[in-house]
Amino acid sequence: MKIKSGRFKIFILAAAVGTGLFGAFVNAQTNPTNEQVIQIVAKKFNYAPNVIMLKKDRPVVLEFTTLDVVMGFNVPDLKIRTDIIPGKVSRVHLVPDKAGTFPFVCDIFCGSGHEDMSGKIIVT
Ligand SMILES: [Cu+2]
């Protein structure tokens, strides 16, 4: 379609820009950082999932809950840790800036299987 009218071109341009801005506004209202959300459930004596796959440079929020007692989540190589408390959601925001495999452990004594509470974050 060939557009002859200059005004019509400006109208189309304005509509396109407006739609784009509105879309960005709506997106910002619903998810300001466009983070990926990963939910992790702790339970004596494991995490589900215990392997967390992330993409390098993609913002992510890890949301933790526990089904029983207080747990910890500690990723020494990424300098991340949080407590996981019954009845609450603990959140860790991060943007992985390097690829690799990063082990995590529970660092709060939570019972006889505490030493087995571990997993890994894999960033690709
Ligand atoms: Cu533990």
User: How far is the centre of ligand 1, averaged over its atoms, from the C-alpha of 38 (Å)?
Assistant: 21
Q: How far is the CA of 114 from the centre of ligand 1 (A)?
A: 4
What is the model's pLDDT at position 3?
Answer: 55
- Is the four-CA dihedral 93, 97, 99, 104 of positive or negative sign? negative
* Per-residue model confidence as pLDDT tens digits over 77-114: 999 999 999 999 999 999 999 999 999 999 999 999 99
Q: Which residue has the higher pLDDT, 4 or 92?
A: 92
Cα of 43 from ligand 1 centre, angstroms: 9
Q: How many CA atoms lie within 13 A of 3 on its CB side?
A: 9
CB neighbours of residue 62 within 10 Å? 23
Under the banding of pLDDT at 50, 70 and 90, the label for residue 53 is: very high
Task: Give me the residue label for tokens 């089904």.
Answer: 67
**Amino acid 1: pLDDT:** 53
Q: Where are the domains of the chain?
A: 36-123
Ligand 1 ion local residues (Cβ < 5 A): 106, 110, 114, 117
pLDDT at position 75, please? 98
pTM: 0.73
Q: Which CATH superfamily is domain 36-123 in?
A: Cupredoxins -  blue copper proteins (2.60.40.420)
Compute, in angstroms, the gap from residue 34 CA to the centroid of ligand 1.
31
